[in-house]
């Protein structure tokens, strides 16, 4: 899946154990709407540095996996947890070809205020499995 938004926050890398580290960042989706969404993403292991080259306020595209798990407490209560694992980050507009400056492109969902489109991708080269 993928989504485009504005970097709102970046947090330090957390070393959870000798073999596991993670880093969170927040992306503002639908920033022009009356109710912008602030979505928290997680980077793990060798991916924690992916956000280093981006600053707060940058518009980026994040490719991610949506994960969910079930947990049953000792008392028998069931809870569900979601994780959004980012595995690739791209700066919006960085892959554009060098076209003449008077060439106008279509407005993005960020400019029009329309809801973002979360799409699935078929890129297999970066998947952890």
CATH code of the domain containing 24 = 2.40.50.140
User: Which is more confident, 116 or 23?
Assistant: 23
Q: Using an 8 Å Cβ cutoff, are 82 and 64 in contact?
A: no
Tokens of 13: 């890398």
C-alpha 111/C-alpha 5 separation (Å) is 11
Domain count, the chain: 1
Query: What confidence score (pLDDT) does residue 96 get?
Result: 40
Tell whether 61 is covered by a domain. Answer: yes
Domain membership of residue 129 (yes or no) is no
Residue 123 lies in a domain: no
The 10s digit of each residue's pLDDT in 24-80 is: 999 999 888 899 999 999 999 999 999 999 999 999 999 999 999 999 999 999 999
Is residue 107, in this structure, part of any structural domain at all?
A: yes
Structure pTM?
Answer: 0.69
Answer yes or no: is 35 within a domain: yes
pLDDT of residue 31: 83
Report whether pLDDT(23) > 70: yes
Domain interval for residue 68: 2-95+103-112
102 contacts: CB under 8 Å, gap ≥ 6: none
Strand partners, 43: 23
Q: Are 40 and 64 in contact (CB under 8 A)?
A: no
| Cα separation of the two ends of the chain | 16
pLDDT of residue 120: 52
Q: What is the mean pLDDT of the chain?
A: 82
Within a domain: 24: yes
Q: What is the CA radius of gyration of the chain?
A: 17
- Has residue 79 been placed in a domain? yes
């Amino acid at each position: 899946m993928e989504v485009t938004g504005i970097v709102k926050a970046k947090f330090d890398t957390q070393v959870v154990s000798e073999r596991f580290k993670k880093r969170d960042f927040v992306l503002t989706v639908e920033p022009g709407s009356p109710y912008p969404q602030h979505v928290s993403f997680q980077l793990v292991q060798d991916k924690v540095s992916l956000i280093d080259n981006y600053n707060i306020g940058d518009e980026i595209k994040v490719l991610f996996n949506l994960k969910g798990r079930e947990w049953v407490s000792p008392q028998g209560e069931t809870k569900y947890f979601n994780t959004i694992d980012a595995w690739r980050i791209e700066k919006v507009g960085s892959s554009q070809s060098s076209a003449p400056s008077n060439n106008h492109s279509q407005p993005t969902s960020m400019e029009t205020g329309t809801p973002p489109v979360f799409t699935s991708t078929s890129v297999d080269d970066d998947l952890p499995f």
